[in-house]
Amino acid sequence: MLIVVGVAIIAAFALATYAVLEGAEERATIRSSLRNLEGYEVENLRDRELLAPVQQRAVAPIFRAIVAMGKRYIPSGQAENARRKLTLSGNPSTDAADRFIALRVVLFALIPVWFILAFYVLPVTGNVPLAVFVLLTLASVLGPDSILNRKVAERQHAIQVKLPDILDLLVISVEAGLGFEQALDRTINSVPGPLSDEFVRMLNEVRAGSSRADALRALDTRTDTPEVRSFVLAILQADTFGVSIGRVLRAQADEMRVRRRQLAQEKAQKAPVKMLIPMVFCIFPALFVVVIGPAIINISHNFKS
């Protein structure tokens, strides 16, 4: 009975929200059309503020309040760590950091809701409500960081895989007579990916007036991978000591190919260990039931007879 009432309340709330948002969207469309008319002016202050979209008038203040609350109660070290991870995941904007902080605050605020849901709403008994509450609480506390760490790891892996290919094309372009920036600009158009996006940002920083050394160090900070760090240090040393860029790039390309091969071999060696847990808990029990089950049944029948 409680489930039916809960579903009815949720459905009514969803319908009411949809009706309000539908009307607000229609009014926003009308106001947008009025704003496009030349010479249209609103004398009433209330009507002038109503010309703004619903998101700017209603959602944005709530979002700013949640972000302010998160910045107040979340330790500064965790906030800086979240911003750094967002940069490593390819989303370095301030809005992304604010959205992440707001998500953390909302998920923490939902913990009492999970308690009520697990112990008073769900029709379960025994230790199941406690298990449900613990799982939902862990998802609220650890879920955002786990997803963000996963995105960072996937992006760093993509950078590690693409770097040898980019270096090979760089070697060909530099040995053909192009400068480093020109060769890099031509190469990144042929190899799309997160590393090419970082190189595009580095070239834009150089064109904006930053030195090549500072742009390369910023690239190393945004990627935080050993392969890119080795490449950046090699280029900086070549600029400092006057070594040929082509020779340095060829040595780096050979080294990166070896590292990529070693990374693949390392993952292949880890695969049997990772397969051991699902084999022990999922495959072996079913296998034992099929193989040993008939023998146990026969033995039990023999003892009864």
- pLDDT for the residue numbered 39: 47
Q: In the numeric block, which tokens belong to residue 75?
A: 């330790």
Q: In the numeric block, which tokens belong to residue 39?
A: 């010479």
Residue 19 has pLDDT above 70, yes or no: no
Place of tokens 């400068």: 179
Q: What is the pLDDT confidence band of residue 7, given thresholds at 50, 70 and 90?
A: very low
* Residues 142, 159: Cα–Cα separation, whole Å: 26
Instruction: Report pLDDT digits (tens) over 89-109.
Output: 888 777 778 788 888 888 888
Q: Where are the alpha helices (DSSP H) in the chain?
A: 2-36, 45-50, 54, 60-73, 76-88, 94-109, 111-116, 128-175, 180-188, 194-207, 212-223, 226-241, 245-278, 284-304
- pLDDT for the residue numbered 132: 86
pTM of the entire predicted model: 0.70
* Residues 105, 111: Cα–Cα separation, whole Å: 10
Strands (E), 219-272: none
- pLDDT for the residue numbered 4: 45
Instruction: Report pLDDT digits (tens) over 206-244.
Output: 889 888 889 999 999 988 898 899 889 988 888 888 888
What does each C-alpha distance from 38 to 34, 35, 41, 45, 70 come to in angstroms? 9, 8, 9, 19, 43
In the chain, what percentage of residues exceed pLDDT 70? 75
Residue 192 has pLDDT above 80, yes or no: yes
Write the DSSP assignment of 133-161 as a string of letters. Answer: HHHHHHHHHHHHHHHHHHHHHHHHHHHHH
